[in-house]
Amino acid sequence: MHVSTMPVIATQDLVKTYHLGEVQVRALRGVTVSLDPGEFVAVTGPSGSGKSTFMHILGCLDRPTSGKYFLEGRDVSRLSKDELAAIRNRKIGFVFQGFNLLPRTTALENVELPMLYNGGVRTAERHKRARAALEAVGLADRTAHYPNQLSGGQQQRVAIARALVSSPSIILADEPTGNLDSRTSVEVMDIFQMLNIEHSLTVILITHEHDIAEYATRIITFRDGRIVQDRPADSRRIAKRELAAMPVEESV
Amino acid sequence: MSVFMIFRIAFKSLGRNKLRTALTMLGMIIGVAAVITVVALGQGAQESIETQIRAAGTNLITVNAGNFNMGGVRQGQGASNTLTVEDSRAIRHEILGVQFLAPGVNTRAQVIAGNQNWQTRIQGTDVDLPLIRAWPAKYGGFFTPQDVSSAAKVAVLGGVVTETLFGEEVDPVGQIIRIRNQPFKVVGVMTKKGQAAMGEDQDDAIFVPYTTVQKKLSGQQHINNITISAQSANQVGNTADQIAMLLRSRHNLLPGDTDDFMVRTLEEMASVRSEATKTMRALLASIAGVSLVVGGIGIMNIMLVSVTERTREIGLRLAIGARGSDVLLQFLVEAVALSLVGGAFGIGLGFGVSNGLTRVLEWPTFVSPDAVAVAFGVAAATGVFFGFYPARKASGLDPIEALRYE
Ligand SMILES: Nc1ncnc2c1ncn2[C@@H]1O[C@H](COP(=O)(O)OP(=O)(O)O)[C@@H](O)[C@H]1O
Ligand SMILES: [Mg+2]
């Protein structure tokens, strides 16, 4: 198998069924998809269509009821909890709607967190990498700030720095702009596009907002646990351009 | 994650809620303080018994007239007139294991020296007493066999009596004191010895020939006790038994009759004394047990609250790659840190309580490094035991649900 042609993510007929007493909830009903390294994919669809369930499986937080999931060519759909934890630590960076930063913990320490569970990263190395990640998201001057001293957009950027600090294969973002106003949303999308273009990171962005999906290179639409549409973004939005065009007085 | 990091995180999270942390520790503090005090009392008692045995000589046997368990009216030991000088002579001559022997006749009397006076114990004894007790004189010496046979009015003073009548560091040898208004010549002063095994102050006494007490002071013919030392430590038990048999036959006791005397060895007396601290130790041990359980449950409770409060944090840690065992360890260490800090305060408090017991109740206590180690061990074990369930609960959380937790 050639590395250059190997998809970073490949799923075969993923099914996820939840059992709520007598009732069966079929959250995913056979999802087959393949993502190449360096893609910026938006997963969209109405609420309840199975986007988050799909992301949990891609993120190794959950295992499918049936079907296969290959991450960088390795079947990870039947691994043990601890093996999944190790994969989450090294290969996946999560960004959540609610930021999920630890309170009363500085931005730097929040970003260092994944490296605490990665065995041999020494303290000095940890500080260095965390600083570099915060710099990449434009927060070099906010390392000692606590989350409650940062704006929502800045908090989400700290969360992105935390996601990319251990050089993962993919960044998974579930509704990352859900708690942000429109300008801040564009700023966050700018970061994702920058990471995708300049650092060649594979980004999977889950959103139910169509205009946010437009920042991706490829848009996958879910309905009732199935992929109903998979197309390249024909008129891709570029966040940097939009920010430059925005009136200055709006910026924080 | 390094152990150091885990402890750092644990202390940080405990520091966030100082009042809650302090209140949670209270049970641990009391429990560990009680543990320290129990061990300190035990070791103190042990230590003081050993010192006393060493000071008195391991070979000591005492015979007292009367018996606690005698039928009819209960009489105090030595209060009845069942022992005679002839008994003591018989013991000296007939029992091989006896090395030294001194009959004792006690009374209390007012003692006057110059314009000082003092009520004290007058201990009529024999010349062997300093040998039996390995007790040297500080000034002068003990009275002589001639003094005993002539019932001379000579006195050897205990340390407390000397200090009261003449002042500290004063040599009163050659002075005259008045006991029951009769002049006695001071021939010696004993070194200070401190509390005896039974609690009486050995230094608050005046030693005179037992014949003098019988003939010049109290007029009593019988003797109150006999102090004996055996030839060697391993002869003590045997010799004590032979003394008892001899006295039974001399007193014409029939099989089944209760002894009208009590023969005891120092070990036995020491065990009477340790009975007293035993009650206190049992009380403290139960306080320790209850407080540790209460403290442990307090820790468990606060850790459960903490797990609930930090569900999202746990979810996040799991999402970014913490294994269940990492989370388990984190919360376990937090519980142990809580109990160890409580334990440290408890050790401090235990020190204070032990010192207080020694100072106020004069109970010997000794806080040894062992006791501190035991207390720390108990604290850590309590933390692990009661912290395990909440930690297990935290580590078993589903990351997806934990992340969603509001
Ligand atoms: N843990 C669960 N237990 C039961 N049903 C669930 C669970 N998680 C999701 N579902 C159901 O699965 C379906 C898909 O949910 P989800 O993946 O969260 O959708 P989306 O993120 O697109 O809004 C929904 O019907 C939802 O109610
Ligand atoms: Mg969702």
CA distances A35 to A71, A72, A225, B119, B313, Å, are 10, 10, 18, 105, 31
Interface subset of B 320-359, CB within 8 angstroms of A: 320-326
Residue B10 in this model has a pLDDT that exceeds 90: no
Task: Give domain status of residue A223, yes or no.
Answer: yes
- How far is Cα A91 from Cα A233, in angstroms, rounded to an integer? 26
CATH code of the domain containing A202: 3.40.50.300
Ligand 1 atom closest to the CA of A53, numbered from 1: 17
Q: Flag the least confident range among B73-82, B181-190, B224-233.
A: B73-82
Q: Are B299 and B338 in contact (CB under 8 A)?
A: yes
Mean pLDDT of chain B: 87
Distance of CA A219 to the CA centre of its chain: 15
- Specify if A28 maps to a domain: no
Q: Give yes or no for residue B247 having a pLDDT over 90.
A: yes
Q: Return the closest-CA partner of residue A65 out of A21, A6, A22, A11.
A: A11
Interface test with B, best of A60, A80, A96 (most B CBs within 10 A): A96
The predicted pLDDT at position B72 comes to 44
Asked whether residue A148 is domain-assigned, the answer is yes
| Pairing status of strand A74-75 against strand B182-190 | unpaired
Q: Which of B153, B81, B150, B91 is nearest to B122 (CA)?
A: B153
CA dihedral A116, A120, A122, A128 (to 10 degrees): -70
Residue A2 has pLDDT above 50, yes or no: no
Contacts of B313 in chain A (CB under 8 A): 102
Q: Is residue A164 part of a domain?
A: yes
The residue among B374, B342, B265, B276 whose CA lies nearest residue B40 is: B374
Can you give the pLDDT at residue A202? 96
Give CA–CA dist A222/A243, Å, rounded: 30
Gap between the Cα atoms of B64 and B82, Å rounded: 9
Number of compact structural domains in chain A: 1
Q: What is the pLDDT of residue B44?
A: 82
Model confidence band, residue A61 (pLDDT cutoffs 50, 70, 90) = very high
Inspect the interface and report whether the beta carbons of A104 and B5 lie closer than 8 Å: no
**pLDDT at site A150:** 95
Answer whether A14's CB lies under 8 Å from A175's CB: no
Ligand 1 mean position, distance from CA A222 (Å): 13
Q: What's the whole-number mean pLDDT along residues B351-355?
A: 92
A225 CA: nearest ligand 1 atom: 14
Q: Which of A152, A137, A64, A60 is nearest to A100 (CA)?
A: A152
d(CA B205, CA B315): 77
Q: Which atom of ligand 1 approaches the CA of A18 most closely? A: 4
pLDDT of residue B73: 45
List of residues 6+ apart from A113 with CB closer than 8 A: A102, A162, B316, B317, B320
A121 touches chain B (CB under 8 A): no
**Which among A56, A81, A90 has the least Cβ separation from residue B324?**
A81
SS3 A132: helix
Decide if A235 is inside a domain.
yes
* Tokens (6 digits) for A102: 């630890």
Q: How far apart are CA B196 and CA B200, in angstroms?
A: 6
Model confidence at A4, in pLDDT bands (50, 70, 90)?
low
SS3 category, B141: coil
B268 — contact with chain A (CB < 8 Å)?
no
Tell me the residue range of the domain where A120 lies.
Answer: 37-61+81-245
The one-letter amino acid code at B374 reads V
d(CA B274, CA B279): 9
DSSP codes, B361-397: H-------HHHHHHHHHHHHHHHHHHHHHHHHHHHT-
pLDDT tens digit string along B38-80? 888 888 877 777 776 666 666 889 898 887 665 444 444 445 7
Mean pLDDT of chain A: 92
Which pLDDT score is estimated for B275? 67
Contact B324 A59 (CB under 8 A): no
Burial of B347 (C-beta count, 10 Å sphere; 0-12/13-18/19+): buried
User: In this structure, are residues B108 and B121 in contact, taking their beta carbons and an 8 Å threshold?
Assistant: yes
Is residue A90 within 8 angstroms of chain B, CB to CB?
yes
| pLDDT > 70 fraction of chain B, expressed in percent and rounded | 91
Determine the Cα–Cα distance for residues A114 and B176; give it in Å rounded to an integer. 91
Distance A43 CA to ligand 1 centre (A): 15
CA distance B395 to chain A (A): 12
Among A155-164, B81-90, B132-141, B375-384, top mean pLDDT goes to A155-164
**B241 CB-near residues (< 8 Å, 6+ apart):** none
Residue A251 main-chain phi, psi, to 5 deg: -75, 150
Nearest in space to A222 (alpha carbons), one of A42, A38, A96, A98: A42
**Structural domain includes residue A17:** no
C-alpha gyration radius of chain B:
32
SS3 A82: helix
Buried b (16+ CB within 10 A) or exposed e, A91-100: bbbbbbbbbb
Strands A170-174 and B98-113: unpaired
Q: ipTM > 0.90?
A: yes
As a whole number of Å, the end-to-end CA separation of chain B is 28
- Residues ≥6 apart with Cβ < 8 Å to A238: A193, A215
Query: Is the pLDDT score of A87 beyond 70?
Result: yes
Distance from C-alpha of A85 to C-alpha of A98, rounded to nearest angstrom: 21
Residue A8 lies in a domain: no
First-to-last C-alpha distance (Å) of chain A: 49
Compute the C-alpha angle B30/B36/B37, nearest 5°. Answer: 85
Q: pTM for the whole thing? A: 0.71
In a domain, A124, yes or no: yes
Residue B391 to residue B337: CA distance in whole angstroms:
13
Spatial distance between the Cα atoms of B173 and B159, rounded to a whole number of angstroms:
13
Per-residue confidence (pLDDT) for residue B51, from 0 to 100? 73
Q: Are the C-beta atoms of A176 and A215 separated by less than 8 Å?
A: no
With a Cβ cut-off of 6 Å, ligand 1 is lined by A 18, 20, 25, 27, 45, 47-53
- Top-confidence range, A100-114, B15-29, B76-90: A100-114
Q: CB-CB: which of B1, B319, B323 is closest to A94?
A: B319
**A vs B: CB pairs below 8 A:** 55
| Residues 148-167 (A) with a CB less than 8 A from some CB of B | 162, 166
